[in-house]
Structure 1
Amino acid sequence: MRNISFILAVVTIIMCHHNTSAKTEDSVEIGKFFQKIFDASMNQIQKGDLDLIESAIHELKTQSEDAKNCTLQVLHGLDGMKGKLDEGKELDRQRDEKLKGDLSQLSNLQNELFAAFTAESKAKVSIDDELKKLINSLTIIREERENDEMKKAVLKQELLCFKYYAFYNVTNIINVGKKRYFLKPDYDANHMFTWAKSKSYCEERRASLVTIESKSELVSLSHFITNTYKPHYGFWLSATKDGTQEGRYMWPNGKIIEKGHEWWSSAYPVDNDGSEHCVGLFPSLASLFDYSCSSVSNVICELTSECRLD
Protein backbone atom coordinates (compact mmCIF):
# COMPACT_ATOMS: atom_id res chain seq x y z
CA MET A 1 0.00 0.00 0.00
CA ARG A 2 2.86 2.28 0.77
CA ASN A 3 4.12 1.61 -2.77
CA ILE A 4 0.76 2.67 -4.24
CA SER A 5 0.78 5.91 -2.33
CA PHE A 6 4.28 6.55 -3.48
CA ILE A 7 3.32 5.78 -7.09
CA LEU A 8 0.27 8.15 -6.88
CA ALA A 9 2.51 10.89 -5.62
CA VAL A 10 4.91 10.28 -8.42
CA VAL A 11 2.07 10.27 -10.98
CA THR A 12 0.75 13.52 -9.60
CA ILE A 13 4.17 15.13 -9.86
CA ILE A 14 4.60 13.93 -13.42
CA MET A 15 1.11 15.22 -14.43
CA CYS A 16 1.76 18.65 -12.96
CA HIS A 17 5.12 18.66 -14.68
CA HIS A 18 3.54 17.68 -17.96
CA ASN A 19 0.84 20.46 -17.80
CA THR A 20 3.31 23.29 -17.27
CA SER A 21 4.54 25.33 -20.24
CA ALA A 22 8.17 25.35 -19.08
CA LYS A 23 10.61 24.57 -21.93
CA THR A 24 13.88 24.95 -20.08
CA GLU A 25 16.55 22.19 -20.07
CA ASP A 26 16.24 21.85 -16.27
CA SER A 27 12.59 20.96 -16.62
CA VAL A 28 13.41 18.27 -19.19
CA GLU A 29 16.06 16.72 -16.94
CA ILE A 30 13.71 16.67 -14.00
CA GLY A 31 11.11 14.93 -16.13
CA LYS A 32 13.57 12.21 -17.15
CA PHE A 33 14.57 11.75 -13.52
CA PHE A 34 11.02 11.16 -12.39
CA GLN A 35 10.35 8.88 -15.34
CA LYS A 36 13.16 6.61 -14.19
CA ILE A 37 11.76 6.56 -10.70
CA PHE A 38 8.32 5.73 -12.06
CA ASP A 39 9.64 2.92 -14.18
CA ALA A 40 11.55 1.45 -11.23
CA SER A 41 8.48 1.67 -9.09
CA MET A 42 6.26 -0.01 -11.65
CA ASN A 43 8.59 -2.99 -11.78
CA GLN A 44 8.15 -3.48 -8.05
CA ILE A 45 4.34 -3.29 -8.13
CA GLN A 46 2.64 -6.70 -7.95
CA LYS A 47 -0.19 -7.72 -10.16
CA GLY A 48 -2.74 -7.41 -7.30
CA ASP A 49 -1.99 -3.75 -6.73
CA LEU A 50 -3.18 -2.64 -10.17
CA ASP A 51 -6.86 -2.83 -9.15
CA LEU A 52 -6.20 -0.50 -6.26
CA ILE A 53 -4.41 1.88 -8.57
CA GLU A 54 -7.33 1.82 -11.00
CA SER A 55 -9.79 2.48 -8.12
CA ALA A 56 -7.67 5.40 -6.90
CA ILE A 57 -7.53 6.87 -10.37
CA HIS A 58 -11.32 6.58 -10.67
CA GLU A 59 -11.75 8.35 -7.34
CA LEU A 60 -9.41 11.09 -8.53
CA LYS A 61 -11.49 11.48 -11.70
CA THR A 62 -14.70 11.69 -9.60
CA GLN A 63 -13.18 14.33 -7.37
CA SER A 64 -11.97 16.17 -10.46
CA GLU A 65 -15.53 16.16 -11.90
CA ASP A 66 -16.88 17.45 -8.61
CA ALA A 67 -14.26 20.19 -8.60
CA LYS A 68 -15.14 20.98 -12.23
CA ASN A 69 -18.85 21.20 -11.37
CA CYS A 70 -18.05 23.40 -8.40
CA THR A 71 -15.91 25.58 -10.61
CA LEU A 72 -18.73 25.83 -13.15
CA GLN A 73 -21.12 26.84 -10.38
CA VAL A 74 -18.67 29.46 -9.19
CA LEU A 75 -18.26 30.74 -12.74
CA HIS A 76 -22.03 30.80 -13.16
CA GLY A 77 -22.33 32.76 -9.92
CA LEU A 78 -19.64 35.14 -11.13
CA ASP A 79 -21.56 35.61 -14.38
CA GLY A 80 -24.66 36.46 -12.33
CA MET A 81 -22.70 38.94 -10.24
CA LYS A 82 -21.30 40.46 -13.40
CA GLY A 83 -24.85 40.85 -14.73
CA LYS A 84 -25.90 42.58 -11.51
CA LEU A 85 -22.88 44.87 -11.74
CA ASP A 86 -23.75 45.70 -15.35
CA GLU A 87 -27.34 46.46 -14.31
CA GLY A 88 -26.01 48.72 -11.49
CA LYS A 89 -23.74 50.50 -13.95
CA GLU A 90 -26.70 51.06 -16.29
CA LEU A 91 -28.79 52.45 -13.43
CA ASP A 92 -25.91 54.74 -12.44
CA ARG A 93 -25.60 55.91 -16.04
CA GLN A 94 -29.34 56.61 -16.20
CA ARG A 95 -29.19 58.49 -12.90
CA ASP A 96 -26.24 60.53 -14.17
CA GLU A 97 -28.13 61.39 -17.35
CA LYS A 98 -31.20 62.41 -15.35
CA LEU A 99 -29.06 64.46 -12.97
CA LYS A 100 -27.41 66.21 -15.91
CA GLY A 101 -30.86 66.96 -17.33
CA ASP A 102 -32.11 68.30 -14.00
CA LEU A 103 -29.02 70.46 -13.58
CA SER A 104 -29.50 71.81 -17.10
CA GLN A 105 -33.13 72.66 -16.34
CA LEU A 106 -32.12 74.36 -13.10
CA SER A 107 -29.47 76.36 -14.93
CA ASN A 108 -32.01 77.44 -17.55
CA LEU A 109 -34.50 78.37 -14.84
CA GLN A 110 -31.83 80.39 -13.04
CA ASN A 111 -31.02 82.26 -16.24
CA GLU A 112 -34.71 82.94 -16.85
CA LEU A 113 -35.20 84.21 -13.29
CA PHE A 114 -32.15 86.43 -13.55
CA ALA A 115 -33.36 87.81 -16.88
CA ALA A 116 -36.82 88.43 -15.39
CA PHE A 117 -35.31 90.11 -12.31
CA THR A 118 -33.10 92.31 -14.50
CA ALA A 119 -36.05 93.29 -16.65
CA GLU A 120 -38.17 93.99 -13.56
CA SER A 121 -35.39 96.10 -12.03
CA LYS A 122 -35.07 98.12 -15.22
CA ALA A 123 -38.84 98.52 -15.37
CA LYS A 124 -38.88 99.63 -11.71
CA VAL A 125 -36.13 102.18 -12.37
CA SER A 126 -38.09 103.42 -15.36
CA ILE A 127 -41.28 103.66 -13.31
CA ASP A 128 -39.41 105.48 -10.52
CA ASP A 129 -38.03 107.97 -13.06
CA GLU A 130 -41.50 108.53 -14.47
CA LEU A 131 -42.91 108.98 -10.97
CA LYS A 132 -40.21 111.53 -10.15
CA LYS A 133 -40.99 113.41 -13.35
CA LEU A 134 -44.69 113.28 -12.55
CA ILE A 135 -44.10 114.49 -8.98
CA ASN A 136 -41.91 117.33 -10.27
CA SER A 137 -44.57 118.28 -12.80
CA LEU A 138 -47.27 118.19 -10.12
CA THR A 139 -45.09 120.28 -7.81
CA ILE A 140 -44.59 122.87 -10.54
CA ILE A 141 -48.31 122.88 -11.32
CA ARG A 142 -49.14 123.21 -7.63
CA GLU A 143 -46.67 126.08 -7.18
CA GLU A 144 -48.04 127.82 -10.25
CA ARG A 145 -51.56 127.31 -8.96
CA GLU A 146 -50.57 128.64 -5.54
CA ASN A 147 -49.00 131.68 -7.20
CA ASP A 148 -52.14 132.15 -9.24
CA GLU A 149 -54.25 131.84 -6.10
CA MET A 150 -52.06 134.38 -4.35
CA LYS A 151 -52.35 136.76 -7.29
CA LYS A 152 -56.11 136.25 -7.35
CA ALA A 153 -56.26 136.87 -3.61
CA VAL A 154 -54.29 140.10 -3.98
CA LEU A 155 -56.48 141.27 -6.84
CA LYS A 156 -59.60 140.33 -4.90
CA GLN A 157 -58.26 142.19 -1.89
CA GLU A 158 -57.54 145.29 -3.94
CA LEU A 159 -60.99 145.11 -5.55
CA LEU A 160 -62.62 144.84 -2.15
CA CYS A 161 -60.54 147.74 -0.95
CA PHE A 162 -61.61 149.92 -3.87
CA LYS A 163 -65.26 148.97 -3.24
CA TYR A 164 -64.68 149.67 0.43
CA TYR A 165 -63.18 153.08 -0.24
CA ALA A 166 -65.99 153.99 -2.61
CA PHE A 167 -68.80 152.76 -0.34
CA TYR A 168 -67.54 154.41 2.85
CA ASN A 169 -66.03 157.47 1.16
CA VAL A 170 -62.69 156.54 2.68
CA THR A 171 -59.89 158.94 1.73
CA ASN A 172 -56.58 160.01 3.19
CA ILE A 173 -55.21 156.45 3.12
CA ILE A 174 -51.96 155.94 5.03
CA ASN A 175 -49.70 152.93 4.38
CA VAL A 176 -47.18 152.15 7.12
CA GLY A 177 -45.45 148.77 6.91
CA LYS A 178 -48.13 146.14 6.43
CA LYS A 179 -50.87 148.25 7.95
CA ARG A 180 -53.30 150.67 6.34
CA TYR A 181 -54.94 153.57 8.12
CA PHE A 182 -57.34 156.31 7.12
CA LEU A 183 -58.28 159.65 8.65
CA LYS A 184 -61.76 161.07 8.89
CA PRO A 185 -61.95 163.43 5.91
CA ASP A 186 -62.86 166.46 8.02
CA TYR A 187 -60.27 166.09 10.77
CA ASP A 188 -60.19 169.74 11.78
CA ALA A 189 -61.22 171.14 15.13
CA ASN A 190 -64.85 171.58 14.14
CA HIS A 191 -65.41 167.89 13.33
CA MET A 192 -63.76 166.00 16.19
CA PHE A 193 -65.43 163.13 18.08
CA THR A 194 -65.39 161.68 21.58
CA TRP A 195 -63.52 158.41 22.08
CA ALA A 196 -66.71 156.33 21.95
CA LYS A 197 -68.01 158.09 18.83
CA SER A 198 -64.60 157.76 17.17
CA LYS A 199 -64.63 154.02 17.91
CA SER A 200 -68.10 153.66 16.40
CA TYR A 201 -67.07 155.68 13.35
CA CYS A 202 -64.22 153.22 12.64
CA GLU A 203 -66.27 150.10 13.34
CA GLU A 204 -69.06 151.28 11.01
CA ARG A 205 -66.42 151.24 8.29
CA ARG A 206 -65.21 147.76 9.18
CA ALA A 207 -62.13 149.22 10.87
CA SER A 208 -61.01 149.98 14.42
CA LEU A 209 -59.20 152.60 16.42
CA VAL A 210 -55.46 152.21 15.95
CA THR A 211 -53.53 149.76 18.16
CA ILE A 212 -49.83 150.65 18.34
CA GLU A 213 -47.76 147.45 18.35
CA SER A 214 -44.20 148.78 18.31
CA LYS A 215 -42.05 151.87 18.80
CA SER A 216 -41.26 151.94 15.08
CA GLU A 217 -44.99 151.94 14.20
CA LEU A 218 -45.56 154.81 16.66
CA VAL A 219 -42.77 156.89 15.15
CA SER A 220 -43.54 156.10 11.49
CA LEU A 221 -47.27 156.77 11.79
CA SER A 222 -46.67 160.02 13.73
CA HIS A 223 -44.17 161.35 11.21
CA PHE A 224 -46.40 160.47 8.26
CA ILE A 225 -49.42 162.23 9.77
CA THR A 226 -47.39 165.27 10.82
CA ASN A 227 -45.58 165.68 7.51
CA THR A 228 -48.65 165.08 5.37
CA TYR A 229 -51.57 166.64 7.24
CA LYS A 230 -49.91 168.91 9.84
CA PRO A 231 -52.68 168.47 12.42
CA HIS A 232 -52.89 170.63 15.54
CA TYR A 233 -54.73 168.13 17.71
CA GLY A 234 -54.33 164.61 18.87
CA PHE A 235 -55.97 161.40 17.58
CA TRP A 236 -57.80 158.81 19.64
CA LEU A 237 -56.20 155.34 19.93
CA SER A 238 -57.76 152.03 21.04
CA ALA A 239 -56.11 151.73 24.51
CA THR A 240 -58.16 152.46 27.64
CA LYS A 241 -57.50 152.44 31.35
CA ASP A 242 -57.30 149.06 33.06
CA GLY A 243 -59.61 149.47 36.05
CA THR A 244 -57.63 146.97 38.15
CA GLN A 245 -54.67 149.27 38.76
CA GLU A 246 -53.95 153.02 38.76
CA GLY A 247 -51.76 154.31 35.88
CA ARG A 248 -52.20 151.12 33.92
CA TYR A 249 -53.68 151.06 30.38
CA MET A 250 -54.49 148.16 28.09
CA TRP A 251 -54.77 147.64 24.34
CA PRO A 252 -57.59 145.45 22.94
CA ASN A 253 -55.04 142.67 22.30
CA GLY A 254 -54.34 142.47 26.05
CA LYS A 255 -50.94 144.19 26.06
CA ILE A 256 -50.30 146.66 28.86
CA ILE A 257 -48.85 150.19 28.89
CA GLU A 258 -47.59 150.91 32.37
CA LYS A 259 -46.99 154.35 33.78
CA GLY A 260 -43.43 155.37 32.96
CA HIS A 261 -43.42 153.56 29.60
CA GLU A 262 -41.26 155.35 27.02
CA TRP A 263 -44.21 155.82 24.66
CA TRP A 264 -45.89 158.30 27.02
CA SER A 265 -45.47 161.99 26.40
CA SER A 266 -43.77 164.00 29.15
CA ALA A 267 -45.86 164.27 32.35
CA TYR A 268 -48.32 161.64 31.12
CA PRO A 269 -50.37 159.74 32.07
CA VAL A 270 -52.07 162.38 34.25
CA ASP A 271 -55.41 160.80 35.13
CA ASN A 272 -56.78 163.93 36.84
CA ASP A 273 -59.54 163.02 39.28
CA GLY A 274 -59.42 159.46 37.89
CA SER A 275 -61.42 160.48 34.83
CA GLU A 276 -58.85 160.34 32.04
CA HIS A 277 -59.38 156.76 30.95
CA CYS A 278 -58.71 156.97 27.21
CA VAL A 279 -55.43 157.13 25.29
CA GLY A 280 -54.57 159.30 22.31
CA LEU A 281 -51.64 160.10 20.00
CA PHE A 282 -49.71 163.35 19.71
CA PRO A 283 -48.34 163.00 16.13
CA SER A 284 -46.08 166.03 16.44
CA LEU A 285 -44.44 164.48 19.53
CA ALA A 286 -44.71 160.82 18.49
CA SER A 287 -45.96 160.03 21.98
CA LEU A 288 -49.11 159.07 23.88
CA PHE A 289 -51.42 161.02 26.21
CA ASP A 290 -54.35 160.13 28.44
CA TYR A 291 -57.52 162.20 28.31
CA SER A 292 -61.10 162.15 29.35
CA CYS A 293 -63.07 159.83 27.08
CA SER A 294 -65.84 162.45 26.83
CA SER A 295 -63.46 164.98 25.35
CA VAL A 296 -63.17 165.30 21.57
CA SER A 297 -60.21 164.54 19.32
CA ASN A 298 -59.40 163.62 15.73
CA VAL A 299 -60.23 160.19 14.36
CA ILE A 300 -57.77 157.78 12.73
CA CYS A 301 -58.88 154.22 11.90
CA GLU A 302 -56.95 151.07 11.22
CA LEU A 303 -58.18 148.68 8.53
CA THR A 304 -58.47 145.32 10.20
CA SER A 305 -59.78 142.96 7.51
CA GLU A 306 -59.63 142.73 3.73
CA CYS A 307 -57.70 145.93 3.13
CA ARG A 308 -54.73 145.12 5.35
CA LEU A 309 -51.53 144.30 3.52
CA ASP A 310 -50.82 141.02 5.42
Structure 2
Amino acid sequence: MAVLSGGDSKRYKQKGELIDKALMDINAKPLLFKIVEDGINNYDNVIVSLNNHKRKIKYEGILKPLLKRDNIGFVEDNKKINFIGVGKGIASVLLKLLPKTSIQFVPCDRPHLDVRLLRQLETIKEGVTILIYENGLIEPLLALYAEDYAVPPSFIFSFGLSRADVFIRLAPRIRLYDATKIIDMNTLEYRFFLNVNTPRLNISNFSLEKEDYLLPKSKIIERKNFEPLDSYELNNNPKEWIHHLIEKRHFFLAFLVAKYLFNNQIFEFDLFSQYVNLTLESEYKYWMENNIPFLGLHALQDLSYSLQNKVSDEIDTEIKKLKKKLGIKKK
Protein backbone atom coordinates (compact mmCIF):
# COMPACT_ATOMS: atom_id res chain seq x y z
CA MET A 1 0.00 0.00 0.00
CA ALA A 2 1.32 3.46 -0.92
CA VAL A 3 0.10 6.45 1.11
CA LEU A 4 0.06 9.69 -0.88
CA SER A 5 1.11 12.42 1.53
CA GLY A 6 3.33 15.47 1.81
CA GLY A 7 2.38 18.91 0.62
CA ASP A 8 -0.01 21.69 1.57
CA SER A 9 -3.51 21.44 0.17
CA LYS A 10 -4.45 24.50 -1.87
CA ARG A 11 -8.10 23.88 -1.04
CA TYR A 12 -7.94 23.00 2.65
CA LYS A 13 -7.38 25.65 5.28
CA GLN A 14 -7.75 26.01 9.02
CA LYS A 15 -8.10 29.53 10.42
CA GLY A 16 -7.26 30.89 6.98
CA GLU A 17 -3.92 29.08 6.66
CA LEU A 18 -2.90 26.25 4.35
CA ILE A 19 -2.13 23.11 6.32
CA ASP A 20 -0.64 19.68 5.80
CA LYS A 21 -3.71 17.44 5.96
CA ALA A 22 -1.57 14.47 7.00
CA LEU A 23 -1.01 16.19 10.35
CA MET A 24 -4.67 16.79 11.21
CA ASP A 25 -5.55 15.39 14.62
CA ILE A 26 -8.11 12.59 14.40
CA ASN A 27 -9.02 10.98 17.73
CA ALA A 28 -5.79 12.36 19.24
CA LYS A 29 -3.67 10.94 16.39
CA PRO A 30 -2.39 12.57 13.21
CA LEU A 31 -4.44 11.40 10.23
CA LEU A 32 -1.27 10.07 8.60
CA PHE A 33 -0.61 7.88 11.66
CA LYS A 34 -4.12 6.41 11.51
CA ILE A 35 -3.89 5.54 7.82
CA VAL A 36 -0.37 4.07 8.03
CA GLU A 37 -1.33 2.06 11.12
CA ASP A 38 -4.35 0.64 9.29
CA GLY A 39 -2.12 -0.13 6.33
CA ILE A 40 0.55 -2.09 8.19
CA ASN A 41 -2.16 -4.20 9.81
CA ASN A 42 -3.66 -5.16 6.45
CA TYR A 43 -0.86 -5.08 3.86
CA ASP A 44 2.55 -6.73 3.65
CA ASN A 45 4.26 -3.37 3.22
CA VAL A 46 3.34 0.31 3.45
CA ILE A 47 5.16 3.05 1.54
CA VAL A 48 4.71 6.72 2.41
CA SER A 49 5.06 8.96 -0.65
CA LEU A 50 6.25 12.51 0.04
CA ASN A 51 7.83 15.41 -1.79
CA ASN A 52 11.14 16.07 -0.03
CA HIS A 53 13.66 14.84 2.54
CA LYS A 54 12.77 17.50 5.11
CA ARG A 55 9.19 16.26 5.20
CA LYS A 56 10.42 12.67 5.45
CA ILE A 57 12.30 13.49 8.66
CA LYS A 58 9.20 15.20 10.03
CA TYR A 59 6.96 12.24 9.20
CA GLU A 60 9.46 9.76 10.66
CA GLY A 61 9.06 11.56 13.98
CA ILE A 62 5.27 11.31 13.78
CA LEU A 63 5.37 7.63 12.80
CA LYS A 64 8.16 6.66 15.21
CA PRO A 65 6.04 4.17 17.25
CA LEU A 66 5.18 2.34 14.02
CA LEU A 67 8.70 2.31 12.57
CA LYS A 68 9.61 -0.58 14.86
CA ARG A 69 7.82 -2.69 12.28
CA ASP A 70 9.94 -3.66 9.30
CA ASN A 71 7.19 -3.15 6.71
CA ILE A 72 7.22 0.67 6.44
CA GLY A 73 9.26 2.65 3.92
CA PHE A 74 9.37 6.07 2.25
CA VAL A 75 9.58 7.18 -1.38
CA GLU A 76 10.57 10.77 -2.09
CA ASP A 77 9.53 12.45 -5.33
CA ASN A 78 11.87 11.58 -8.18
CA LYS A 79 13.57 14.81 -9.29
CA LYS A 80 14.00 13.44 -12.83
CA ILE A 81 10.21 13.34 -13.26
CA ASN A 82 8.67 16.61 -14.40
CA PHE A 83 5.13 15.74 -13.34
CA ILE A 84 3.44 18.20 -10.97
CA GLY A 85 1.74 17.64 -7.61
CA VAL A 86 0.18 14.30 -6.77
CA GLY A 87 0.92 13.02 -10.27
CA LYS A 88 4.63 13.24 -9.47
CA GLY A 89 4.13 11.22 -6.29
CA ILE A 90 2.23 8.49 -8.15
CA ALA A 91 4.84 8.34 -10.92
CA SER A 92 7.71 8.19 -8.42
CA VAL A 93 6.15 5.28 -6.54
CA LEU A 94 5.35 3.34 -9.72
CA LEU A 95 8.88 3.69 -11.09
CA LYS A 96 10.38 2.76 -7.71
CA LEU A 97 8.27 -0.32 -6.92
CA LEU A 98 7.13 -1.86 -10.22
CA PRO A 99 7.43 -4.69 -11.17
CA LYS A 100 8.24 -5.96 -7.66
CA THR A 101 4.72 -5.73 -6.27
CA SER A 102 1.19 -4.56 -6.95
CA ILE A 103 0.47 -1.11 -5.49
CA GLN A 104 -2.72 0.09 -3.81
CA PHE A 105 -2.65 3.89 -3.54
CA VAL A 106 -4.40 5.60 -0.63
CA PRO A 107 -4.43 9.38 -0.09
CA CYS A 108 -3.70 10.60 3.43
CA ASP A 109 -6.89 12.67 3.68
CA ARG A 110 -9.65 10.02 3.95
CA PRO A 111 -10.56 9.84 7.67
CA HIS A 112 -13.42 7.35 7.26
CA LEU A 113 -11.86 4.98 4.73
CA ASP A 114 -11.39 1.35 5.82
CA VAL A 115 -8.48 -0.12 3.87
CA ARG A 116 -9.86 -3.62 4.47
CA LEU A 117 -12.33 -2.91 1.68
CA LEU A 118 -9.52 -1.97 -0.70
CA ARG A 119 -7.72 -5.18 0.28
CA GLN A 120 -10.54 -7.13 -1.39
CA LEU A 121 -10.15 -5.46 -4.80
CA GLU A 122 -8.66 -7.60 -7.56
CA THR A 123 -5.84 -6.56 -9.85
CA ILE A 124 -5.94 -6.98 -13.62
CA LYS A 125 -3.04 -8.10 -15.79
CA GLU A 126 -0.84 -5.18 -16.93
CA GLY A 127 -3.51 -2.76 -15.80
CA VAL A 128 -5.17 -0.79 -13.04
CA THR A 129 -8.25 -1.27 -10.85
CA ILE A 130 -10.39 1.76 -10.02
CA LEU A 131 -13.60 2.73 -8.23
CA ILE A 132 -16.30 4.53 -10.23
CA TYR A 133 -19.54 6.17 -9.05
CA GLU A 134 -22.89 5.98 -10.82
CA ASN A 135 -22.48 9.51 -12.23
CA GLY A 136 -19.14 8.62 -13.85
CA LEU A 137 -16.72 10.11 -11.32
CA ILE A 138 -13.74 7.89 -10.51
CA GLU A 139 -11.31 7.64 -7.59
CA PRO A 140 -7.87 7.99 -9.26
CA LEU A 141 -6.13 8.32 -5.87
CA LEU A 142 -7.50 4.93 -4.76
CA ALA A 143 -6.21 3.08 -7.81
CA LEU A 144 -4.70 -0.42 -7.58
CA TYR A 145 -1.86 -1.06 -10.04
CA ALA A 146 -0.91 -4.62 -10.96
CA GLU A 147 2.73 -5.62 -10.46
CA ASP A 148 3.07 -6.12 -14.22
CA TYR A 149 1.46 -2.76 -15.04
CA ALA A 150 2.80 -1.61 -18.40
CA VAL A 151 4.85 1.47 -17.46
CA PRO A 152 4.78 3.94 -20.40
CA PRO A 153 7.85 5.04 -22.39
CA SER A 154 10.37 7.17 -20.49
CA PHE A 155 9.80 10.32 -22.56
CA ILE A 156 6.38 10.65 -20.89
CA PHE A 157 8.06 11.77 -17.67
CA SER A 158 9.51 14.87 -19.36
CA PHE A 159 6.05 16.45 -19.47
CA GLY A 160 4.64 18.66 -16.73
CA LEU A 161 1.53 16.49 -16.32
CA SER A 162 -0.48 17.03 -13.15
CA ARG A 163 -3.59 14.85 -13.33
CA ALA A 164 -3.80 11.85 -11.01
CA ASP A 165 -5.38 9.72 -13.77
CA VAL A 166 -2.49 9.85 -16.28
CA PHE A 167 -1.56 6.19 -15.77
CA ILE A 168 -5.21 5.15 -15.84
CA ARG A 169 -5.66 6.75 -19.25
CA LEU A 170 -2.50 4.97 -20.42
CA ALA A 171 -3.42 1.53 -19.04
CA PRO A 172 -4.11 -1.26 -21.55
CA ARG A 173 -6.64 -2.81 -19.15
CA ILE A 174 -8.89 -1.36 -16.47
CA ARG A 175 -10.99 -3.18 -13.89
CA LEU A 176 -13.87 -1.09 -12.53
CA TYR A 177 -15.80 -1.54 -9.30
CA ASP A 178 -19.00 0.43 -8.81
CA ALA A 179 -18.40 2.53 -5.67
CA THR A 180 -22.06 3.52 -5.43
CA LYS A 181 -23.09 -0.15 -5.33
CA ILE A 182 -20.39 -0.88 -2.73
CA ILE A 183 -21.85 1.83 -0.49
CA ASP A 184 -25.41 0.54 -0.98
CA MET A 185 -24.60 -3.18 -0.65
CA ASN A 186 -22.77 -2.61 2.64
CA THR A 187 -25.13 0.10 3.98
CA LEU A 188 -22.20 2.48 4.30
CA GLU A 189 -22.47 6.22 4.66
CA TYR A 190 -21.34 8.21 1.61
CA ARG A 191 -18.58 9.86 3.64
CA PHE A 192 -16.78 6.49 3.68
CA PHE A 193 -14.74 7.57 0.62
CA LEU A 194 -14.81 11.35 1.15
CA ASN A 195 -11.77 13.48 1.91
CA VAL A 196 -11.44 16.26 4.45
CA ASN A 197 -11.89 18.91 1.74
CA THR A 198 -15.57 17.98 1.57
CA PRO A 199 -17.72 20.79 3.05
CA ARG A 200 -19.42 19.90 6.33
CA LEU A 201 -17.78 16.47 6.49
CA ASN A 202 -18.30 15.04 9.97
CA ILE A 203 -14.95 13.63 11.06
CA SER A 204 -15.88 12.95 14.68
CA ASN A 205 -17.61 9.59 14.19
CA PHE A 206 -15.48 6.68 12.99
CA SER A 207 -17.89 3.77 13.46
CA LEU A 208 -18.04 3.08 9.73
CA GLU A 209 -15.90 -0.07 9.53
CA LYS A 210 -17.25 -3.57 8.89
CA GLU A 211 -15.60 -6.94 9.33
CA ASP A 212 -16.34 -8.06 5.77
CA TYR A 213 -17.41 -6.17 2.69
CA LEU A 214 -19.58 -7.22 -0.22
CA LEU A 215 -18.33 -6.26 -3.67
CA PRO A 216 -20.31 -6.10 -6.91
CA LYS A 217 -19.03 -7.90 -9.98
CA SER A 218 -16.32 -5.85 -11.62
CA LYS A 219 -16.32 -4.62 -15.21
CA ILE A 220 -13.25 -4.92 -17.44
CA ILE A 221 -12.16 -2.61 -20.26
CA GLU A 222 -9.23 -3.71 -22.38
CA ARG A 223 -7.48 -2.77 -25.58
CA LYS A 224 -4.67 -4.28 -27.61
CA ASN A 225 -1.04 -3.95 -26.56
CA PHE A 226 1.13 -1.70 -28.70
CA GLU A 227 4.63 -2.36 -29.99
CA PRO A 228 7.41 -0.95 -27.77
CA LEU A 229 8.32 2.61 -28.71
CA ASP A 230 11.95 2.80 -29.79
CA SER A 231 13.24 6.40 -29.63
CA TYR A 232 15.19 6.05 -32.89
CA GLU A 233 12.19 4.78 -34.83
CA LEU A 234 9.95 7.31 -33.10
CA ASN A 235 12.02 10.15 -34.53
CA ASN A 236 12.28 8.60 -38.00
CA ASN A 237 8.76 7.23 -38.43
CA PRO A 238 6.67 9.50 -36.19
CA LYS A 239 3.41 9.37 -38.12
CA GLU A 240 3.57 5.57 -38.35
CA TRP A 241 3.95 5.31 -34.57
CA ILE A 242 1.03 7.62 -33.91
CA HIS A 243 -1.25 5.74 -36.29
CA HIS A 244 -0.10 2.42 -34.81
CA LEU A 245 -1.18 3.63 -31.37
CA ILE A 246 -4.47 4.94 -32.72
CA GLU A 247 -5.13 1.56 -34.35
CA LYS A 248 -4.58 -0.12 -30.96
CA ARG A 249 -6.89 2.51 -29.35
CA HIS A 250 -4.14 4.00 -27.18
CA PHE A 251 -5.28 7.51 -28.00
CA PHE A 252 -3.80 9.36 -25.02
CA LEU A 253 -0.36 7.87 -25.61
CA ALA A 254 -0.67 8.80 -29.29
CA PHE A 255 -1.38 12.38 -28.21
CA LEU A 256 1.67 12.40 -25.92
CA VAL A 257 3.86 11.11 -28.76
CA ALA A 258 2.64 13.99 -30.94
CA LYS A 259 3.29 16.40 -28.06
CA TYR A 260 6.83 15.04 -27.64
CA LEU A 261 7.51 15.48 -31.37
CA PHE A 262 6.12 19.02 -31.29
CA ASN A 263 8.18 19.94 -28.22
CA ASN A 264 11.30 18.64 -29.98
CA GLN A 265 10.50 20.67 -33.13
CA ILE A 266 9.90 17.58 -35.27
CA PHE A 267 6.25 18.54 -35.81
CA GLU A 268 5.08 22.02 -36.80
CA PHE A 269 2.14 23.41 -34.82
CA ASP A 270 -0.34 22.87 -37.66
CA LEU A 271 0.51 19.15 -37.87
CA PHE A 272 0.52 18.86 -34.08
CA SER A 273 -2.93 20.49 -34.00
CA GLN A 274 -4.26 17.91 -36.45
CA TYR A 275 -3.06 15.08 -34.22
CA VAL A 276 -4.39 16.79 -31.09
CA ASN A 277 -7.86 16.81 -32.62
CA LEU A 278 -7.57 13.27 -33.98
CA THR A 279 -6.20 11.63 -30.82
CA LEU A 280 -8.07 13.45 -28.07
CA GLU A 281 -11.46 13.50 -29.80
CA SER A 282 -11.01 9.75 -30.32
CA GLU A 283 -10.04 9.30 -26.67
CA TYR A 284 -13.09 11.27 -25.57
CA LYS A 285 -15.35 8.97 -27.63
CA TYR A 286 -13.55 5.88 -26.28
CA TRP A 287 -14.19 6.78 -22.65
CA MET A 288 -17.78 7.82 -23.31
CA GLU A 289 -18.42 4.49 -25.06
CA ASN A 290 -17.11 2.78 -21.92
CA ASN A 291 -19.19 4.97 -19.58
CA ILE A 292 -16.29 6.81 -17.94
CA PRO A 293 -17.21 10.46 -18.60
CA PHE A 294 -14.64 11.68 -16.05
CA LEU A 295 -11.83 10.56 -18.37
CA GLY A 296 -13.77 11.80 -21.39
CA LEU A 297 -13.88 15.24 -19.80
CA HIS A 298 -10.12 15.25 -19.26
CA ALA A 299 -9.54 14.30 -22.89
CA LEU A 300 -11.59 17.31 -24.05
CA GLN A 301 -9.95 19.63 -21.52
CA ASP A 302 -6.49 18.53 -22.72
CA LEU A 303 -7.63 19.16 -26.29
CA SER A 304 -8.79 22.68 -25.42
CA TYR A 305 -5.61 23.49 -23.49
CA SER A 306 -3.30 22.12 -26.21
CA LEU A 307 -5.03 24.27 -28.83
CA GLN A 308 -4.85 27.34 -26.59
CA ASN A 309 -8.61 27.22 -25.95
CA LYS A 310 -9.35 27.62 -29.67
CA VAL A 311 -11.93 24.84 -29.92
CA SER A 312 -15.39 24.65 -31.44
CA ASP A 313 -18.45 25.81 -29.56
CA GLU A 314 -19.61 22.19 -29.63
CA ILE A 315 -16.56 21.00 -27.66
CA ASP A 316 -16.78 23.91 -25.22
CA THR A 317 -20.45 23.11 -24.62
CA GLU A 318 -19.68 19.42 -24.07
CA ILE A 319 -16.99 20.28 -21.49
CA LYS A 320 -19.51 22.38 -19.55
CA LYS A 321 -22.13 19.63 -19.85
CA LEU A 322 -19.77 16.96 -18.49
CA LYS A 323 -18.63 19.15 -15.61
CA LYS A 324 -22.25 19.71 -14.63
CA LYS A 325 -23.02 15.97 -14.85
CA LEU A 326 -19.99 15.13 -12.70
CA GLY A 327 -20.57 17.94 -10.21
CA ILE A 328 -17.22 19.57 -10.96
CA LYS A 329 -17.18 23.30 -10.27
CA LYS A 330 -13.47 24.14 -10.57
CA LYS A 331 -12.00 25.24 -13.90
Q: TM-score, normalized by length of structure 1? A: 0.19
Q: Which has the larger radius of gyration?
A: 1
Q: TM-score, normalized by length of structure 2? A: 0.18
Higher RCO (C-alpha under 8 Å, 6+ residues apart): 1
